[in-house]
Amino acid sequence: MTVTPAETKVLSENQRIANELRNTLGNAGVLSLNFIGSPGAGKTAFLERTLALLAAGTRTAVLTGDIQTENDANRLARYGYPVRQITTAGACHLDARMVERHLQGWNLDDLDLLLIENVGNLVCPTSFDLGEDAKIVVLSVCEGEDKPLKYPGIFRKAELMILNKADLLPYVPFQPALAMEYARQIHPGIAILQTSAVTGVGFEAWLDWLGARLDAKRAAMNETAAAVTGSGAATR
């Protein structure tokens, strides 16, 4: 696919802002995750279950993107965490500027985790870095097993695939093993979890994955702080 000069300029500016966001969030020790999936893949329900199960004291905020309405923000806000809706008014993806703008007023030093629910789309959001630590692709069993082959970009960039709505497997002609095989053809190292926001299946493994990433983020921040302190002591 040919990228026009205008598109190159837009993506370059987005990358600049995303890099600044990544540095800002990293300095505050905030783990940022970007959830991407088709409309109806169950991203919001997955996040609802996640917020309900988070360990006490996990300081979390949520940004959720949609073309119109604040429905998802209203659903997620019921769990007591700060939530902001990003309404794109037609844009099929979030971009770094939108995230930067909607983070204003939040004290990042008071957060451990930022969850970003992107606009429902497997194509456009893939190209736009939001300063996240990881992209997570959500694929439901109501979709085709060949989605990784049809939309390879997001499966290539995602660290984790959530195979969602597993409670519907008895009722739909979906082969999980085939979907996983296709995903690993595109990205051999992708982690895969099978989940259901309705029954809670797979959420213990998801919370383990999330906890490990939070621990790694804190360790990296502590190492950076120790290096800065040591460097300051050495110059005195």
Q: What is the pLDDT of residues 132-183, one digit of tens each?
A: 999 999 999 999 999 999 999 999 999 999 999 999 999 999 999 999 999 9
pLDDT at 228 over 70: no
| pLDDT recorded at residue 235 | 61
pLDDT tens-digit readout, 89-142 = 889 999 999 999 999 999 999 999 999 999 999 999 999 999 999 999 999 999
Q: What residues contact residue 221 under an 8 Å CB cut-off, 6+ apart?
A: 26, 27, 29
26 burial type by CB count under 10 A (0-12 exposed, 13-18 middle, 19+ buried): middle
Average pLDDT in the chain? 94
Q: Return the amino acid letter for 168.
A: L
Q: Taking the CB of residue 113, how many other CB atoms lie within 10 A of it?
A: 20
Mean pLDDT of 29-58: 97
Q: Is the dihedral of CA 161, 167, 173, 176 positive or negative?
A: positive
Eight-class DSSP state of 167: G
| pLDDT recorded at residue 3 | 65
| pLDDT recorded at residue 232 | 65
Eight-class DSSP state of 6: H
User: 43 near 37, Cβ under 8 Å?
Assistant: yes
User: 183 near 161, Cβ under 8 Å?
Assistant: yes
Mean pLDDT of 74-97: 95
| pLDDT recorded at residue 8 | 81
Domain ranges in the chain are 26-214
| pLDDT recorded at residue 45 | 98
Q: What does pTM read for this prediction?
A: 0.92
pLDDT at 1 over 60: no
Looking at the chain, how many residues does it have?
Answer: 236
Of 59, 110, 101, 112, the closest CA to residue 81 belongs to 59
Mean pLDDT of 13-22: 97
Mean pLDDT of 74-88: 97
CATH number, domain 26-214: 3.40.50.300
| pLDDT recorded at residue 220 | 84
Mean pLDDT of 5-34: 92
Q: Max alpha carbon distance in the chain (Å)? A: 69
Q: Which residues pair with 36 in a beta bridge?
A: 137
- State how far the Cα of 167 lies from the Cα of 73, in Å rounded to an integer: 25
Mean pLDDT of 188-201: 98
- State how far the Cα of 5 lies from the Cα of 7, in Å rounded to an integer: 5
> What are the φ and ψ backbone dihedral angles of 23, each rounded to 5 degrees?
-65, -45
Q: Which residue has the higher pLDDT, 226 or 111?
A: 111
Task: At 119, list the tokens.
Answer: 């606009």
